[in-house]
Amino acid sequence: MALPDKSFPVSWDQFHRDARALAWRVASVSKEWRGIVTITRGGLVPAAIVSRELEIRVIETVCIASYHDYDMQGDIKVLKDISPALLENDGEGVLIIDDLTDTGKTAELVRAMMPKAHFATVYAKPKGMPQVDTFITEVSQDTWIFFPWDMGFTYQEPIAGAGKG
């Protein structure tokens, strides 16, 4: 997979701060969430943080695999559906959590399952923004986000020196 020139590395500390900020924002929407539906796998970490901060005990997953490269998202496959109890009333009172909305295709699929749920992501790219109700940080479409669970500790070339030999 060819990665774009722009990268946005996120540390564990930064991600935790951003996920807590997401909890603050969605707390202003409702104090009475019936539960969280998190999109796996990326939504698992922010859902854990938001559920702790808002004392939400019912957490469900929707497991989706999308096979893609940077430029184009391919087929999306639902590996595990949402429990019927949270689907009641089109998901009203349910908080959907993910780490990122990129192209918006996955978000669109989940939103169709629960049209009245509140969709919240930590990061959002322009193509995916129409599908979410709340997000913390906008990132340009041509930027690759490196989440802390995807990274190891390595030397980083200074921006000014990138590509110089």
Catalytic residues: 98-99, 102
Tokens 């590509």: give the residue.
163
Q: List the binding residues.
A: 41-42, 98-106, 144-145
Numbered residues of the known binding site for GMP = 102-106, 144-145
Angle at 131 between CA 3 and CA 1, to 5 degrees: 15
> Tokens for 19?
């996920």
The CA-atom distances, in angstroms, between 74 and each of 7, 134, 165 are: 22, 25, 36
Q: Smallest Cα–Cα separation from 72: which of 102, 98, 48, 114?
A: 102
CA-wise closest residue to 142 among 131, 164, 127: 127
Spatial contact of 86 and 37, defined as CB atoms under 8 Å apart: yes
- Does residue 142 contact residue 136 with C-beta atoms inside 8 Å? no
Q: How far apart are CA 33 and CA 13, in angstroms?
A: 26
